[in-house]
């Protein structure tokens, strides 16, 4: 199904697990209502929270409200939402994020290329207070946001960012959805399920592409505690473990190619910039920023090494009636 503008129809999925984010969840839903190209449907999936589910049912009338029918966690909730989606494109927005008015218009415009399997957009941190002086923009992946070093114009990438991503519904069907052995559960900061599903999608559809479109913009709320060095290092450790699990599923080269370029090119420049900014008197926190980058890299590496010694997570789910590596084009 297509809109009159010629863009494919979209189902938007928002997953939530706590009433603590109620105001942000309502803001996320409102930002979807305000889209220049409205979605065919908006789905809110509640991850095992009966009180939140009931509150939504009695409060929001123009949104499909579902309870997670899969394993507890973000991946299970996303799969529940994707299964209920009726449109050809399924877009995912975090419950603590707000989409720019042309978000869906920008995402869906790229699907005119038949080889595009998924499109993700830029995620800008919306700090509760202000960016901590020691928190370099190169580390914004820690808070689920786009980081310095990503393309500045639309480009092919390995994977999208979870707070701002979309997939062809056929692709999600063929790959069997998000791997529920990965992904955040409540506040446990594991992840990389977006990386893993994008890799599996491309493996299953040779010639297919994942695209990053920075013009498709989402603002992502970042609470003050996520700017602390303690959180940064805990998140880095979890990232290392998660990347190790993904590498066991899809192989080192696919799992770590962009990370190697990031470590070789982006981080050394960031460390040098911090040191030079302090020496030149431009930034009194330059040394701290450089030290934080080095610490995050070291802890991520240690987490990865630890993750390599752990039992492998199960591979991604099979795709219902389709073989795991069936191309989505073959079932159109």
The pLDDT of residue 193: 84
Residue 330 pLDDT more than 60? no
Q: Which domains does the chain have, with CATH numbers?
A: 10-225+311-326 (3.90.550.10)
DSSP state of 184: -
**The two structure tokens encoding residue 160:** 């999208």
What mean pLDDT comes out for the span 86-113? 97
pLDDT band (50, 70, 90) for residue 324: very low
The pLDDT of residue 269: 96
The pLDDT of residue 256: 72
Q: Is 21 exposed, middle or buried (0-12, 13-18, 19+ CB in 10 A)?
A: middle
Residue 16 pLDDT more than 90? yes
The pLDDT of residue 242: 85
DSSP for 16-58?
E--GGGHHHHHHHHHHHHT-SS--SEEEEEE-S-HHHHHHHHH
DSSP state of 143: G
Residue 236 pLDDT more than 50? yes
What mean pLDDT comes out for the span 192-197? 86
DSSP state of 108: H
Per the DSSP assignment, residues forming a β-bridge with 156 are 211
Distance between CA atoms of residues 202 and 193, nearest Å: 14
Tens digits of per-residue pLDDT, 53-99? 999 999 999 999 999 999 999 999 999 999 999 999 999 999 999 99
Cβ atoms of 226 and 143 closer than 8 Å: yes
Chain centroid to CA 150: 14
């Amino acid at each position: 199904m297509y809109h009159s503008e010629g863009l494919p129809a979209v189902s938007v999925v928002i997953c939530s697990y706590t009433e603590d984010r109620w105001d942000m969840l309502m803001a996320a839903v409102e930002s979807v209502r305000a889209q220049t190209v409205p979605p065919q449907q908006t789905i809110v999936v509640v991850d095992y929270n009966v009180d939140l589910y009931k509150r939504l049912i009695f409060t929001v009338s123009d949104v499909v409200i579902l309870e997670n029918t899969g394993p507890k966690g973000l991946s299970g909730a996303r799969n529940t939402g994707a299964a209920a989606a009726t449109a050809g494109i399924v877009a995912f927005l975090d419950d603590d994020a707000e989409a720019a008015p042309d978000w869906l218009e920008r995402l869906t415009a790229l699907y005119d290329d038949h080889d595009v399997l998924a499109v993700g957009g830029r995620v800008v941190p919306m700090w509760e207070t202000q960016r901590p002086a020691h928190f370099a923009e190169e580390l914004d992946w820690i808070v689920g946001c786009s980081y310095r070093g990503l393309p500045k114009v639309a480009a092919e990438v390995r994977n999208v960012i979870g707070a701002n991503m979309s997939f062809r519904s056929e692709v999600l069907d063929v790959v069997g959805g998000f791997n529920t052995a990965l992904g955040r559960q409540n506040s446990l900061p594991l992840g990389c399920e977006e990386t893993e599903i994008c890799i599996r999608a491309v493996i299953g559809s040779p010639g297919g592409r994942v695209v990053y479109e920075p013009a498709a913009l989402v603002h992502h709320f970042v609470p003050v505690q996520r700017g602390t060095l303690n959180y940064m290092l805990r998140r880095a450790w979890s990232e290392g473990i998660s990347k190790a699990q993904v590498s066991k599923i899809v192989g080192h080269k696919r799992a770590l190619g962009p990370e190697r370029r990031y470590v070789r090119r982006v981080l050394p420049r960031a460390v040098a910039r911090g040191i030079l900014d302090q020496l030149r008197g431009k930034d009194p926190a330059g040394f701290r920023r450089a030290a934080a980058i080095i610490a995050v890299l070291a802890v991520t590496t240690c987490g990865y090494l630890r993750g390599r010694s752990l039992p492998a997570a199960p591979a991604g789910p099979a795709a219902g009636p389709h073989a795991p590596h069936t191309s989505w084009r073959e079932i159109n």
